[in-house]
Amino acid sequence: MTSPTGGLAPAPLPALPAAQAVDKAAGAVSGGKVESLLVVTQQGDGSAWQAVVLGPDGVRHAVTLAGTDGTATSNTVAVRGPETTR
């Protein structure tokens, strides 16, 4: 999809509201907290939500949710958070 200026147009907002996407993404990682949420193009057509979820163990997960119903379509370990020393 291209915009009138010739660049790529942004993905449309998914049907699933952002607040529900946050809840579903946090639920995909036990004890997780959502750090960020963004709209991504869904394979084929449409859009999906992608969230970065920080687990209680400091591990970040990239969680992708279907834009229609919030089904988790992927949950990939991203990056471990910085270690703290005492």
User: Is-above-0.75 flag for pTM?
Assistant: yes
Distance between CA atoms of residues 14 and 62, nearest Å: 18
Q: Which residues are paired to 33 by β-bridges?
A: 54
Task: Convert the pLDDT of each residue in 57-77 to its tens digit.
Answer: 999 999 999 999 999 999 999
Mean model confidence pLDDT for the chain: 86
Asked whether residue 80 carries a pLDDT value surpassing 60, the answer given is: no
Contact yes or no for 50/62 (Cβ under 8 A): yes
